[in-house]
Amino acid sequence: MRAGVIISFIMSTIELFNTFANNLLPIMLIAAAGYVLGKTLTVDSRTIGRVVFYIFSPLLVFNLMVTSQLNLQQALLTIGYTTAVITVMGTVAFILGKLFRLERTHLLVVILTVAFGNTGNYGLPLVKFAFGDEALAAASIFYVTTTILFNTVGVVIASLGHLDLKSAILGVFRLPIVYAVMIALLVKGFGVEIPLPLSRTIEIAANGAIPAMLILLGLELTRIEWTHSLRATSLGVAIKLLVGPLVGLLLASLFGLEGHMQQGSAIEAAMPAAVATTVVSTEYKLEPSLVTAIVFFGTILSPLTLTPLIVFLAR
């Protein structure tokens, strides 16, 4: 019996290692290349970010939506699921932040970083590697919904009252990804056939999106700053990495998500804090050193929780 337990433990360990090596390690290596590049050379990550934001990311989402087998009902279900995940995670962060008696700005940082995960630069590549294009299509809906909510609700949280809700909502219409979704829905809804030269252009850009996102992730991580707010840092990282996967799986069950939809959505729900939170926190002077610390340590430690989650979802 003891031998059987040992064999089972070894097999489980091998499965976890293979899952990490095949799905997370490639992402970490490319991001690490971006990190080394940012540390050794003067690279304008803001320019690369704009290229990803205005070209690669919208065309990736457009391509995924046009070629996906997801129907409108499944897309709406994923939007509802994403909204629920962000709401629940933000609420959990608020409650635990109050229990740990975090000061107001630290509490806002924890809520912001826990509610909004890195569903783009990190989440999309991971879903593609682990579960393929069908799961990636569901993950892209999660990503688009997160982007819209982050640029409204997230910006309002970070602004500490410096920005009114109307301005934040109007800001959504400056997001290229919103128009990519609208056009994709029209193309798919009316059965429009995209001309070959244009479809190949879109495909090339879409294929370049994920490598560019990973390099950008590494470049953004070079901005890490030391913070003395160890309690807030630990709490933000712990909630995102430990509670995130549980909330993602529970809500996936409640929303009736199965197969590729469950896989893509649950992985996105479990991602560490979004790199974009560092930009917003700097813009509105909301403890940027604390935000970057939560993003950095959450990203570095995320394989410890994402690897077993992938194994679980693959069964």
Three-point CA angle 220, 222, 226, nearest 5° = 115
Percent of the chain clearing pLDDT 90 (strictly above): 50
Q: Which two tokens stand for residue 190?
A: 């009316």
pLDDT exceeds cutoff 70 at 160? no
pLDDT exceeds cutoff 80 at 3? no
- Give the CA count within 13 Å in the CB-facing half-sphere of 112: 36
Whole-number pLDDT of residue 163: 55
Q: Give yes or no for a contact between 273 and 233, defined as CB atoms under 8 angstroms apart.
A: no
Q: Which two tokens stand for residue 253?
A: 């069950």
Q: Using pLDDT thresholds of 50, 70 and 90, give the confidence band for residue 9.
A: low
- Cα separation of 228 and 293, whole Å? 10
The candidate with the shortest Cα–Cα distance to 144, out of 92, 189, 185, is 185
Whole-number pLDDT of residue 213: 85
Backbone angles phi, psi at 259, to 5 degrees: 55, -135
pLDDT in tens, 54-71: 898 889 889 888 887 777
Whole-number pLDDT of residue 161: 47
More confident residue, 302 or 152: 302
DSSP state of 144: H
Q: Which two tokens stand for residue 304?
A: 């410890």
Domain limits, the chain: 46-220+227-314
AA identity, residue 250: L
- Cα separation of 201 and 150, whole Å? 29
Q: Using pLDDT thresholds of 50, 70 and 90, give the confidence band for residue 191.
A: confident
Q: Using pLDDT thresholds of 50, 70 and 90, give the confidence band for residue 181.
A: confident
Q: Is the CA virtual torsion 269, 265, 282, 214 positive or negative?
A: positive
Whole-number pLDDT of residue 301: 96
AA identity, residue 66: V
Exposure pattern of 281-306 as b/e (b: 16+ CB <10 Å)?
bbebebbbbbbbbbbbbbbeebbebb
The candidate with the shortest Cα–Cα distance to 215, out of 60, 51, 37, 39, is 37
Q: What is the mean pLDDT of the chain?
A: 87
Per the rule left: phi > 0, alpha: psi between -120 and 50, beta: everything else, 286 is beta
CATH of 46-220+227-314, one of 3.90.320.10, 1.10.520.20, 1.20.1530.20, 1.10.540.10: 1.20.1530.20
pLDDT in tens, 161-173: 455 556 666 666 7
The candidate with the shortest Cα–Cα distance to 208, out of 24, 52, 53, 65, is 52
Q: Using pLDDT thresholds of 50, 70 and 90, give the confidence band for residue 214.
A: confident
Per the rule left: phi > 0, alpha: psi between -120 and 50, beta: everything else, 299 is alpha
pLDDT exceeds cutoff 80 at 85? yes
The DSSP annotation for 213-231 comes to: HHHHHHHHHTT----S-HH
Neighbours of 155 (CB within 10 A): 23
**Predicted TM-score (pTM) of this structure:** 0.86
pLDDT in tens, 222-270: 877 776 788 999 999 999 999 999 999 999 999 999 999 999 999 999 9
Q: Give yes or no for a contact between 237 and 99, defined as CB atoms under 8 angstroms apart.
A: no
Q: Which two tokens stand for residue 191?
A: 């059965």
Whole-number pLDDT of residue 182: 87
Polymer length of the chain: 315
Q: What is the dihedral of CA 149, 58, 224, 231, to 10 degrees?
A: 20
